[in-house]
Amino acid sequence: MPLNKQYWEDRYKNNSTGWDLGIISTPIKEYVNQLENKNSKILIPGAGNAHEATYLVKNGFKNIFILDIALSPLKFAKQRSKLPEEHLIQQDFFDHKGSYDLIIEQTFFCALEPRFRESYVKKIHMLLRDQGCLIGVLFNFENNLSSPPFGGSINEYLNLFEPYFEIVTMEPCNNSVIERQGKEIFIKLKKKK
């Protein structure tokens, strides 16, 4: 089954959203809590119900954009996060144009078919300003499923990202939510010129 817009809309309509933590993921919460610049332009691609955005807005971040191919989660996120309409983008990530200081990754990379990983890396690189960073979590388990979430390993992620990013952090998470303990890698990757 192609992982297209219809696939994701159906997952939301059928409440088949096992990935949704219902709150911001702890590793991302602890990272954003220590950020001082609340004016950074931030993108959350594949944001889904966008609990990260709701948290960021509540905590004074002023320039958050969320993007998803599916409309249903964006409607939910709009009510919850109180983001202005123009900060909610319904679009295929690979068609998006923009320029951001920070991009937040939370179960979007793992939702893409692995053949799109290199395109994801190049697209994130393109969407970041100089010195911009991709932060967030990637899954840390063998990539043997035929449907999402697709996993991977630090070695695989290093090979993918290193040509385009300085690896500031890429290590197993010590602050995952209980059900994801031992299964997540925290990343902070700075755009190379």
Ligand X SMILES: C[S@@+](CC[C@H](N)C(=O)[O-])C[C@H]1O[C@@H](n2cnc3c(N)ncnc32)[C@H](O)[C@@H]1O
At 181, give phi and psi (nearest 5°).
-60, 135
Which residue number, 19 or 141, has a Cβ lying nearer to ligand X? 19
From 65-73, 123-131, 160-168, 173-181, give the range in contact with ligand X by CB under 6 A.
65-73
100 binds ligand X per the rule CB under 6 A: no
Which residue number, 94 or 171, has a Cβ lying nearer to ligand X? 94
DSSP string, the chain: ---SHHHHHHHHHTT--TT--SS--HHHHHHHHT---TT--EEEET-TT-HHHHHHHHTT---EEEEES-HHHHHHHHHHH---GGGEEES-GGG----EEEEEEESSGGGS-GGGHHHHHHHHHHHEEEEEEEEEEEE-B----SSSPP-B-HHHHHHHHTTTEEEEEEEE-SS--GGGTTSEEEEEEEEP-
Give the nearest distance from C-beta 178 to ligand X in angstroms.
Answer: 16
Name residues contacting ligand X, limited to 13-42 (CB under 6 A).
Answer: 19-20
Give the nearest distance from C-beta 68 to ligand X in angstroms.
Answer: 5
Q: Which of 31, 55, 108, 186 binds ligand X (CB under 6 A)?
A: 108
184 binds ligand X per the rule CB under 6 A: no
Which residue number, 29 or 162, has a Cβ lying nearer to ligand X? 29
Q: Which of 31, 55, 68, 185 binds ligand X (CB under 6 A)?
A: 68
Q: Which residues bind ligand X (CB under 6 A)?
A: 8, 19-20, 45-49, 67-70, 73, 92-94, 106-108, 111
